[in-house]
Amino acid sequence: MDKVTLEVVRSGGRRIRYDLRYRKGMTVLDALIEIREKLDSSLGYRHSCRMGICGSCGMTIEGVPRLACQTQISILKTDVIRVEPLHSMGVMRDLVVDIAPFMAMHKSVKPYIMRRNTDERDHSDREYRVLSEEVRRFLQFDYCIMCGLCYSACPTVALDPAYIGPQAIAQSYRYMADPRDEGWDQRIDLLDTSHGVWRCHVAGACSFVCPKDVDPAKAIQMARKEILKKRLLRRKARVGAQPVPLLSSGVVKQGVKPPPFDFGKGSVSRK
């Protein structure tokens, strides 16, 4: 197959076809770039990193939300590729959708380390002691690049714009499972609302489309378990990880030594 056609849904629902020459390893984003540079400079779409890590180029390709930069045309097994904007989001121009509500849902679950002693968190010089297996309990959910694919694949989001969405709940659980976080109770009350975690019905579409295997469906069920632990089993919040003192001042090992200073040490201001 040396020719490929992209049928792009433009603003107002117009479907326009573009014919391109196919190159080995060509992705949908390559095709879109070629369209804007050679065929139609008014085609609106977002992109930046072209290596699947920034999350700008989410769109619905062949009916399923995907990242355009990492979707090889060869795996789509069709000569005419249907490209549409992400579902369940407001279209602003062609394939550019409004991600502000999605970002607002992320902010609504307070996704940051909460500590009772915020001064120690913001202005001390210690580090919290966290073991590797403790990191493993939440790290998978920290891989989220906020591309919005799970949000647009979720059936409940399609129905209920007030639903906070799989991404936000997965981030809330990421902080619930972080040993350093002491906001367990607050996070449970934030999720346990009529448009919160209970609106998820385990359709699994979020985990199916996630480009980074963050598995939000799993995070949501674990968040649910935390809520049930609190409501039914009357479980209490555990104390966050404690700061660890800096290493003792005694020198343990002699390291490589740089050559001696040619002048006195210290910063001579200049320029």
**Binding residues among 144-203 for other proteins as defined by CB under 8 A:** 144-146, 153, 155-163, 171, 175, 177-178, 180-181, 189, 192-196, 198-199, 201-203
Contact 77, 140 (CB under 8 A): no
81 has which bridge partners? 6
Question: Shortest gap between Cβ of 119 and other proteins (angstroms)?
Answer: 10
Tell me, by CB under 8 A, how many residues bind other proteins. 147
Nearest residue (CB) to other proteins, 80 versus 202: 202
Report in angstroms how near the CB of residue 22 gets to other proteins at its nearest. 12
Task: Pull the structure tokens for residue 196.
Answer: 């919160």
Among 18, 138, 172, 182, binds other proteins (CB under 8 A): 138
In 110-183, alpha helices (H): 118-123, 132-139, 149-153, 155-159, 166-176
Distances (CA, A) of 255 to 246, 250, 251, 252, 258: 18, 14, 10, 9, 10
Among residue numbers 39 through 98, which ones bind other proteins (CB under 8 A)? 41-42, 44-56, 60, 62-64, 70, 84-94, 96-97
Selected from 5, 22, 218, 237, the binder of other proteins by CB under 8 A is 218
Using the minimum distance from each CB to other proteins, give the nearer residue, 5 or 208: 208
Minimum distance from CB of 233 to other proteins (Å)? Answer: 12
| Closest distance of CB 195 from other proteins, Å | 7
Which member of 141, 165, 172, 190 binds other proteins (CB under 8 A)?
Answer: 141
SS3 170: helix
Secondary structure letter of residue 27 according to DSSP = B
Q: Give me 231's structure tokens.
A: 């409501």
Q: Does 126 bind other proteins (CB under 8 A)?
A: yes
State which of residues 15, 21, 116, 136 lies at the interface with other proteins (CB under 8 A).
136
CB-based contacts of 57: which residues, under 8 Å, 6+ apart? 29, 45, 46, 47, 48, 67, 68, 69, 147
Minimum Å gap between C-beta 202 and other proteins is 5
Nearer to other proteins, 15 or 93 (CB): 93
Enumerate the β-bridge partners of residue 243.
128
**Ranges within 227-266 binding other proteins (CB under 8 A):** 227-228, 231-232, 243-244, 247-259, 261-263, 265-266
User: 237 CB contacts (<8 Å, ≥6 apart)?
Assistant: 182, 184, 185
Give the H or E element holding residue 208: helix 205-209
Q: Which residues pair with 9 in a beta bridge?
A: 15
